[in-house]
Structure formats: C-alpha cells, structure tokens
Structure 1
Amino acid sequence: MYFDKEGNFILRHVKANWKLLETKTMTDKIIDIPSKAVPYFSSLGTILWSSKGELWEQNKNDLQKEKIMPVNADSIEILNKVKKPTEAGFHRKYYYLDDHYLLIAAHHDKNLQSTYYMLDQGKKLVIIPENTDRIKHLQASNDGENFIWTEENYNKPPVVMAKIKSSASRTVYQYNAQDKGAKTIAKKKLYYKGVNNEDLQTSLFLPPYFDSKKKYPVALLIYEKQQELTDKYLVPTFKNTRGFNARLLPESGYLVLIPDINCNDRGAALAALDCINDVLDELSKVEQVDMKKIALMGQSFGGYETNFIATHSNRFAAFISGASMSYIIHMGNSLILLWTGTEDKNVDQEETRTFFSALRKYRKIVIALFYTGEAHTLTKYPAQKDYTLRMLDWYDYFLKDKRNIPWINKQMKGAYIFFMSYNYHIFVR
C-alpha cells in the first residue's frame, strides 16, 4: 500500500491490478497500469508511475495519464521521494514527492550502468553521465542549482562529489585515499540462464596481480539477486556482519564468485541448486578456475540454500553456513563450517545445532561455532574478526591443503562444538 502525504488516497496492488481508494468518499477505482510499475504521489496532486524505461503522470480524479519522460533504460527510479512508515503495518507507507523537480536514475540491467537526471518543468538535465559507479545520496539544493552525491566502486574508495548546474563535477572529499591496493582487484561478468530461462549474471572478482597461467580456488557466496551490491567498495576490514570478506579473499589468492539466483514453483532450495549448477557450468569455462577447489558459503537464507546444496551436490570441496535454517533432508556429503549467534531472534540457534548433529550422525566433517551474545549477524568486532580468520583458515585447509591449522585438526579426530565468548576462551564439548 502507498499513501499520499495527507492520507487522502491509498494505492493498493490487489492480485494483478492497481486500485486507488479515495478515503474521504471511500471511492475505489481500478487503474490501468502495469502491475510492476512503481507509484509516487507528486506535489502537484498527480500520481507519477515509473514503468521500465518510461515515466507517466496520471490525474487522480479522471485517471487520464500521459508519458512525460521516455528514456532508453530498463528501469527508472525517482530518487527524491519521501518514504515514511505508517501504523498500517509492513509494506504500507507514505510515498510522495515534496520537490517541484525530479531527481531520476535510469538503470540498464545488462551492463549495470546508470544515468542520473533532473527533470524540471519538462526540461531534462544530465547530472551524472552514464557510468557503472555506485551513486548514492544524490541531493539538490532547493533552487535546483547545486548537487551533491557519493560515488564508489569495488576497486574505488568512496568520494563525495559536488556540481553546479551545467558545470563539471568536482571532488569534495576522498575516503581512504591511501588504499592503493583496491585498484589491483579486477572483476569480470559471466552470464547464464535462470530457472525461468531469464538472463542472469554473476560477478567474478580476480586476485591482485592475477596470473592467467595459474589455477585458483574459488569462494562462492549465495543469497538472492546480488549484482546491485557488487559495485560497493571492497573495504579492507574485519568488520563483516555476514562473515563474508570480498577483499580479504582475493588478496589471499582466491577467486570470489557472487551470482544471482531466482526461484520458481519448485521451491527456493531446488531452484537455488539448479541456478548454482548453471553458474558452475559457466565458471568451468574460465581456464584459471580449479573446479575441484570450490567452496560455497551463505548466511541466513543463503545459509539455508548452502545447507540444502551441501546435501544434494558433490561439486564443492567445502561449505560455510551461518545463522541458517536446516530442516532439510540430511544427506550431507561434504565439509561444513557452521556458525550462529546465541541470541539470534531470526533463526533459532537450535537449527544450527540440529544440522550439526545430523551431519555428525553420518560421520561428516563439520564444526559449529556459537558466538555468545551475537544475533542474526555478527555485530561486535571481536566476533567479526574471529570468524573472518576462521573462514580463511577453513578455505586454506580444504582448498589450499594447508594442514597446520590446530583448531581444524582437532575436528579430524572427533566432533566438536566451539562456544565463542568475547574473552575468547574456547570451551569444547
């Protein structure tokens, strides 16, 4: 549901139709607009709709509409919208525009490029030309003459940019300017088909000073659609809430693969398995990949997918699963590191313990880390650093055959659960 600023109108998406309810008269009207269009109540009393590469304006009374900005793009996003929660529940919000001008992003799905415009009284001004950088926080002054935003990329530390209308942009502030190593990491795109035969893609991050004559192990992170996050600056830090460090792994000699997956009526787990198999088939075409040294990892929903794939695939050398649900068929056949927080309110820690017990029943190699006081993600630096280092140990042990890692060697002699507390005494049970 979308409310206008005063609460006089409510847009609802009901089955395949949009409906507009006028709250004063309780008059309800069906609107002839594509179901995937995104609405915005405008300051002029109309409704703006972005639908693929088109922007429409619609009269709320007679529902007449006209196209106001065609753009060669896959999608259009209005950036200076106001979003406020209501008391009507989740996905029910005030969604409107206060400014007389529009700040617009036009996105291209295939190459992940975007162009940023201002639309003022029918006149279109390019603020940021087409590029692949991650642009955020774009704002304009009240008179629409000055602009400011941040931009970054996986190999480019964030900068604050400013621009005066019709003039060139300039750098206002450079974050982490001393990070010269970021530019040594490269990324390439691979393309494949999803379970509904649509085009999907994955980002493959290459280590610094990538050697085309070498074979590399691969760490694969699974969740849902992730490509819109692959232009984020790879921060050199141990502060990783999900336990995944896309900077440390390439610098440690790993290729990092971040694919998109989708779902169909077979269910999320089987669909993820199919997508990942297609991803691996495409990955096998990269000559520098060691297909016998691939690890799969995920957290939360990605952890559930990891658990399922671990029990249905023999294409991986190791797995890491965090804060995950695990009520699945217990047929584990590979090497799994599990982790969770003891105060997780999203997924009960017993899900991790149950999966650990099932894998041990079938004499699989598995370790479970329970971080005392942590929740669904790791929020405190000691736990973040500890898990990041253990993740790297796990990959080094099973993907690079580095056997001098005591805490894993203990596991090879029996089943252990490690309970992690912040003073880092390890209690073995």
Structure 2
Amino acid sequence: MKVIRHLLIVILILLQGFYYISAAYSDSPNININPTNRNNDLHYSVSIVGNSENLKWMVLRKWYYKNSDSTLVFSRASNQKPVLNLYKMTDFKFINEDHLLAFGNGNAEYYDLKSMSLKKYENVIQTSTLKMNGEHMLYAILQKDGHLLICTKDSKIIYQLDGIHSFQAIDNNGFIANQYTSGQSNLIKITPSDLKTIYTTEKKVESVVFSSDKQYILIRTRSTTSDLDAVNLKTNHLSKIRVSAIIRDFDEIEISAISKESYLIQTRKKILPDRTSPEIWYGNESNIKSIYKGKLNKIFFIWDADNNRLEKLESTPDEVFVAFNNSNYLLKYDPNLRHNYTEQIPTVQLKLYSISTKKEIILSTCTGINYKSPEIIYNSEGRYIMGSDDHKYWNLWDLKTMSTIKINRENLKTPFFTPDNQHIYFDSKEGLCRYDITLKKLSSLEAVENSLETKILNGDADRQFNEYYFAMHTINPNKPLLIRNYDFYNNEVNYDVLIKGKIKHIIPITKNRITDFVWNPSLDQYIYLEENHNFPTSLFIQTRKEEKKKIFQSNPNDHLASTLKSEIIRYKNSTGRDLQGTLYYPAYFNSEKKYPMVVKIYQIQRYKTNEYMVSGNASYVAFDKRALLESGYFVFEPDIAYGNEGTGYGALNCVNTAMDSIQGNKNINFSKVALIGHSHGGYSTNFIATHSNRFATYISGAGNSDIVRSYFSYNRNFNSPFYFQFESGQYQMPPFSENKDLYFKNNPIHYVENVDVPILLWAGKKDENIFWEQVQEFYIGLKRNSKDVIALFYPDVGHDLGRETWQKEDMHRRSMEWLNYFLKDKTDVEWIKRQMSKSKF
C-alpha cells in the first residue's frame, strides 16, 4: 500500500506540471511552480525575416521562449490572416515577386504564391537563387546525396548534376558548382542558357574563394604544395599561382580587387599557443590575447592577373594591408602596435603604402566615431579617405593632392560620398549635413529638422572583411533619401523621405517603437513592425501616398496589454544632465490601493520604454517586467549617467533623485521597494545596497563587488586587461594611479558591513565577463558581517545564464519568489526561510 501511495503522489505531481531544479545546493523537498509559467507559450515576439522586392509578400517569424519554428507569410492585402503557415523553415528567398523558396530542417518548399501551388524537396542541404540582369531567373536545390537541381522560376528542372559538394550563386554570372565524381574534381558554371566545366583536376578541391569583384575564383586543391589555381569567370582562363615558392602552408585565403586586373591576396595561418612551456607575459606585450587564443600569421601578395605575376609584400605577421579602390596605394596598419589596453580596441597608426615605390607614409592615428574600433570610409575611386584620430572629428585625406582637412564639427556621424565626388553627406545628432569638398564648407540641409538625431538608411555601404570598419560609402542625392529622425529627450522617432530637397513624411513622430523597417527599390512602399508597452507588435505596410495599413497584430489574445499604464519621470543627475525614468503601473491598477515596487537599474534605459513586454522565461534574466506588473507591482526603470563622483556614487545619486521624483505617488508603498540589477547594474546594486536605506531587499546578478581587483584583472570575454572598461568604458573613471581614493570610495566590498536588508546574489560559474568569484566575495563579506544573504551559483553557464537553460528558468522562478517573500509577505518558501530562520546550517 505504501508503494502504491507513493506512486500516486508522484503521478499527481507530474500531472500538475510541478518542477524543481536545485541551484547551489539541494533544497529540502519543496515543489514550486513557476508563477508565470502559464505565459511561456502565450506571448511571443516577431521579426520580419523575408519579403519580396516590391513588398507584395512578407514573411514573419514568431519567437517563443523555446520555439521559433513558426513563420507566417502575408500578402499586401492580408488582414490578420496569413496566406501560408510554414513550419521549421529558416531561410526565405523570393524569386521575382510571386515565388517563394523556403528552406529548413533538411527540406525545401517552393511556392507559386499566385496559384498557391507547392513543390517539395527532401534531404536538402543548400538552396540559392540566381539573378541575371536584375531579374531572378533560376533557383538551385542541393540534396544530401550530392544531387543538384537547377530549376526555372516555374519549377521546371533544366539541369541535374550529381557529385556536387557545394555551390555558390554569383549574380549576373551564374552558379558555380563544385563537383567530385569518378576521382575527378570539376568546377561547373551554370547559367540559364548554358552549363560549362570551367576547371578540372584529378585532385580534390578543398576550397573555392571568390574575389571581391567576383571576377576570379581561387582554387586550392589537396596536394603537397600551397599553389593556387585561378579562373577568370568571364573568360574561363586558367592561371597557376605559384604561392609555394613563397609560403609553405596556410589555413585561409582572401582576394580583394585593387584595380581591373590587380589583386591583393592575403593568406592566414593559425598559430596555436604553446601548451608545453610556461606562458611568458611581457610588459611590452601588445597582443596579450594571443597567449590564450594563438596568433594569425598573415602574408600579403599583389597578384598581377594579366601577367600572372605574384609579389610578396614586406610586413610583419601582424600587419594588415587593405585595398580601397585605388590602383596606386594600399592602406596598412598593425592592429596590435603599441596597444596599452586603455581602450578595448586600440587606436591604430594608419599608413599609406605605395604599390610602385614600395614606400609608406604615416597618414594619422585612426580610431572610430560610430564604433569604438578604427573606422575608415572611402569614395568609389579611392581618392578620398575619411577617418578620425580623436573620436570627435572627421579628417578628410585627398590622396591626389596629399592634403588633409579636419571637419570641425562634433556629432557628425556617418559620411557618404556623392557619385561625382563633389559632396559628402553626413547624418548626425543635429540633422542632415552636406560638405562641399571643393569649397571646404559644411552646411545643414534646411529641409531636415536639425534638432534631431538623423540617420540615412538607404546609403550604399561596401564593407571590407577585416576586424575594423573599412568601407566604401556612396549616396546619390538625385534619388530619394530615406531618413530616420530620433528625439533622444522624448524618445520619439519619425521617418522621412528627402526628394529633390523637399521632405515627405512617411511615419509621423511617434513614441512607438519602430523596427525591421524595409523599403522597396523606388522608396514609395514600406513595411515595418510597430509596438509599445501597451500594444503587441504589429506588422504595417505603408506607401508614400496612403495611410499605413495593419497587416498583422501579434498576440491577439493579449487584451491586458492595452490597459497597462506608464508614466515618464524626469530628473537630472549631479552634472545637470536631463534624465528620465519610466514608471509602469500594476496591471488592474486601483487608485485606492498601495502597491510594492521593483526598481531595475542599468545605465540609460529609456530605449526600453516602448518595448512590447513578453513575460515568462523569454524575458530578461531574473527580471520579468510583465509578470511583475501582472502580480501587482509598480516597476521603475530610471536612467543612470555619471558625473565626477565615480560610478557607484553616480548611480546612487541618480537613483535617489529618481526616487525623490516619485515620492508624491500615493499608490506606491515605499516600505516595500526592491532594487534589482544585472552585470553593470549588479555592480550598481551592490554599491547602493551598501549606501542606502530606501530598499526592503536587493537582487544582484553577475556584478562586480571589488572594482580594484576587477580593474587589475584579465577579462577573458573581451580578451583584454579589464582596466579599459574603467578608463574608456562603462565605469567612466580616471586611471587608478591618478585617483586611487575615487576607486576606494566607489568600491562596494569596502562597505559590505553596511548592507542592512536581505540580498539575493547570483552568477554563472562560467562567466568570463564578470568573474563569478566577484559575487562569491561579496557573499563572503556579507556572511562575515552576519548579513541575510543567499547566493546562487549556477554551473555550466555564463554571464546571462544562457537563453534556454534550466539555470535561467530556475533563476526566473527564484527571483519572483524572493520579491514576493519580502515585498508581499508570501513567506512559505523553504529555500528562503532556511536563511531567514537564523538557524545555523
């Protein structure tokens, strides 16, 4: 009877959906249900993952917590109902306007969306489409057995090939298929009208690399030498490149066009760290990460394709050459030279290398404006180069006259050259600007609002594939320019089109969040997603002449969202900077009641104000804003910005000022307020916990507790000494040696004895961003001072506990239980009671 009774109890527990997973230690037998588990499959987010060129059709993916298998296809005429529901498809390609090729999970489906006819293909490993003269002509299906099908847009098979390992589509050129059959390797060029073998060898082809201009392919075969074969894709001419005379072996190769028949070839060889001898850390080492990751030895060549001549460029293994549409020069830099790690990514010394004289001159030091890494923008002819040496101002180099001009205006963001090379357009934090290269004059375009942060969306960017941002940027002002305007102060956005100097408003100023903005080639039709905290993400289509039309609204059963209320709270930090916080009201708010509140901190958080809230485990780690609102909490997310007082005191002052600004709200129970933060927010939470008496409890995850130790640590997530994060990153502090007292004053562990309310700490034990022992040390300091603390250390996960892990789910549950325990007096939670009972372990 006892056995039967125990079995019945187990079955009952399983049927009720209860679960329990232990964290740092095994709990006593207490079964808990996730209080928001009912929502895990109810709410989902969406994204646009495909569209036809003229936006007649669009594909939307639904993202649940552990399921993103569902995609919906809509027509321009749809009204909530999709024309297709696809399952386990991950890639979508439209062929002309009315045909869709979907691929995923080993299957491909080809739809004629007009007739809704379907062609299915099984055991598929690769799909692609081919454009010829601007029109999609063919699609290709490669199956696991090496069978390649080439089909017309009407799904008629025109070619079938066996023994295919891989293929690639080169628009306006054809498919290039890599075939191995009967002991012979072939490269086959496939066009709508022809199928031709352009390369044959008895050796197996190991890699096929296309030049940046798609003029040549470099072929490496399995052989005893490192020689390469090159095929001209227009003439099918074969050249033998005798690399083996210069280099014996390499792992990777890249080829970039310098001019019509001149190419820059780069080979890379991975050198692994020596694990048989001690690590040697030199004081003058500028590439410390190589101790852990190894090095890439790079060798560069100039290949004269016309005469098949190969010339090795003299350089160190770290130096990099970059082609930039200039037949006379290359750019050259060493990414590690004199790197002292005060910045995560170093400022590099940019050189100009003369191809003819083999001499080089120093142009300037180079850093970024839009990125923390060095940034170089050049025009289509390679005459003009733009870069910055100070993170503030753009420099313009004219390589014809060898002159340099500094454009003396801050807040200019991304430059775009006009085709005639007479002007440079800038988006900026102060509207749209144009620089006259001849007159050396910068002016604002009057048609564009100059008080808003402006971004050009349809400029052309052809980026180099190196570790930094080197790219050709062009824009044609005679065609419509699509512009996004952002008002930081009010967190508002609008979209405009600039046509012949006149503005046409597309999306008027809105507080809603606009994402996945897509346009057709003529810029007169647009699709996008729109959402806010109080309405689910919706898909809209809009034309230049008509009002927007809703195609689809996600989460149609989420009727509660429209009732959710928020309020913007404005305040200033110690330097007088305007900040804001978002105060979210509890669901089913009753003005006659008082509610507890959760304050979540990081840095600037206003960007989250208009996000649709998905609850359950899909929410932010250890912080489920939607579930908190539904459980009867206020949620407050204040901005934090720092002054000269240091990071910790800066956060404390901002939080205090923000809290002071809502003291008049009579519905908040200020005796039941929690503070919660993760990562940098975890550090701020730790510091505030040692300096404040405003909160009833704290939850701090993966945050620093000893910033002096952190400053002098090596961060394996960034592969860098971590002091860069303090001097030029989030902490915004001076060097430690210049103001040690500031570090001591802003160090949470120095004041750990001042924490006077219960605190929950957590970390992943594989965290390589903030070392998990920082959390452990704060726990030990609290324990030494007999404070109420519980620390959760999760195995096998890192900084954010992973996306779909039991660790994240467990932390989600425990954070809700912790808040309910201390803010709602729901104290029947054994794992918390074990600490709060004050009994010895």
Rounded Cα–Cα distance in structure 2 between residues aligned with 1:246 and 1:384: 15
Deviation at 1:81, TM superposition (A): 4.8
Q: Answer yes or no: is 1:350 the counterpart of 2:773.
A: yes
Q: TM-score scaled to structure 2, two decimals?
A: 0.47
Unaligned stretches of 5+ in structure 1? Answer: 417-428
Shift in alpha-carbon separation, 1:56–1:208, aligned structure 2, 3 A: same
Residue 4 of structure 1 aligns to a residue whose secondary structure is strand
Residue 625 of structure 2 aligns to a residue whose secondary structure is coil
Q: Which residue of 1 aligns with 2:665?
A: 286
Rounded Cα–Cα distance in structure 1 between residues aligned with 2:400 and 2:765: 50
Residue 235 of structure 1 aligns to a residue whose secondary structure is coil
Moved more, 159-168 or 252-261: 159-168
Q: Which residue of 1 aligns with 2:812?
A: 388
> Which has the greater radius of gyration?
2
Unaligned stretches of 5+ in structure 2? Answer: 1-367, 369-374, 707-746
Q: Which residue of 2 aligns with 1:170?
A: 549
Structure 1 residue aligned with 2:403, among 17, 27, 35?
A: 27
Q: TM-score scaled to structure 1, two decimals?
A: 0.89
Deviation at 1:169, TM superposition (A): 1.2
Q: Which residue of 1 aligns with 2:535?
A: 156
Cα pair 1:53 1:106 within 8 Å, conserved: no
Cα pair 1:220 1:296 within 8 Å, conserved: yes
Could you tell me which amino acid in structure 1 is paired with residue 411 of structure 2?
K
Q: Which residue of 2 aligns with 1:64?
A: 441
Q: Answer yes or no: is 1:339 the counterpart of 2:762.
A: yes
Residue 392 of structure 1 aligns to a residue whose secondary structure is helix
Shift in alpha-carbon separation, 1:325–1:288, aligned structure 2, 3 A: same
Residue 14 of structure 1 aligns to a residue whose secondary structure is coil
Q: Answer yes or no: is 1:54 the counterpart of 2:431.
A: yes
Say what the alpha-carbon RMSD is for the aligned residues.
2.4
Q: Which residue of 2 aligns with 1:377?
A: 800
Q: Which residue of 2 aligns with 1:423?
A: none
Q: Which residue of 1 aligns with 2:376?
A: 3
Residue 228 of structure 1 aligns to a residue whose secondary structure is helix
Superposed, 1:169-208 pairs within 5 Å as 169-208=548-587
- Whose RCO is larger (CA < 8 A, sep 6+)? 1
Deviation at 1:50, TM superposition (A): 3.4
Question: Sequence identity, in percent?
Answer: 32
Rounded Cα–Cα distance in structure 2 between residues aligned with 1:302 and 1:93: 33
Shift in alpha-carbon separation, 1:362–1:279, aligned structure 2, 3 A: same
Q: Which residue of 2 aligns with 1:420?
A: none
Rounded Cα–Cα distance in structure 2 between residues aligned with 1:313 and 1:164: 53
Structure 2 residue aligned with 1:399, among 802, 817, 823?
A: 823
Superposed, 1:20-419 pairs within 5 Å as 20-22=396-398, 27-33=403-409, 35-44=410-419, 45=421, 46-68=423-445, 69-71=447-449, 73-81=451-459, 92=469, 94=471, 96-97=473-474, 100-327=479-706, 328=747, 329=750, 330-331=752-753, 332-378=755-801, 379-413=803-837
Could you tell me which amino acid in structure 1 is paired with residue 530 of structure 2?
E
Rounded Cα–Cα distance in structure 1 between residues aligned with 2:587 and 2:438: 59
Superposed CA offset, 1:206-257 (max 9, x none): 1112111111111001111110121010112312343211100010110000
Rounded Cα–Cα distance in structure 2 between residues aligned with 1:41 and 1:88: 20
Could you tell me which amino acid in structure 2 is paired with residue 388 of structure 1?
H
Shift in alpha-carbon separation, 1:86–1:393, aligned structure 2, 3 A: farther
Cα pair 1:81 1:95 within 8 Å, conserved: no
Moved more, 68-77 or 267-276: 68-77
Superposed CA offset, 1:15-61 (max 9, x none): 6543223467653321121x223232245443223344431111345
Shift in alpha-carbon separation, 1:255–1:10, aligned structure 2, 3 A: same
Cα pair 2:416 2:424 within 8 Å, conserved: yes
Shift in alpha-carbon separation, 1:269–1:374, aligned structure 2, 3 A: same
Cα pair 2:640 2:654 within 8 Å, conserved: yes
Cα pair 1:272 1:305 within 8 Å, conserved: yes
Could you tell me which amino acid in structure 2 is paired with residue 374 of structure 1?
V
Equivalenced residue count is 415
Q: Which residue of 2 aligns with 1:422?
A: none
Cα pair 2:444 2:450 within 8 Å, conserved: no
Cα pair 2:392 2:411 within 8 Å, conserved: no
Could you tell me which amino acid in structure 1 is paired with residue 473 of structure 2?
Y
Shift in alpha-carbon separation, 1:102–1:353, aligned structure 2, 3 A: same
Rounded Cα–Cα distance in structure 1 between residues aligned with 2:494 and 2:599: 30
Shift in alpha-carbon separation, 1:415–1:344, aligned structure 2, 3 A: farther
Rounded Cα–Cα distance in structure 2 between residues aligned with 1:98 and 1:412: 65
Rounded Cα–Cα distance in structure 1 between residues aligned with 2:424 and 2:432: 10
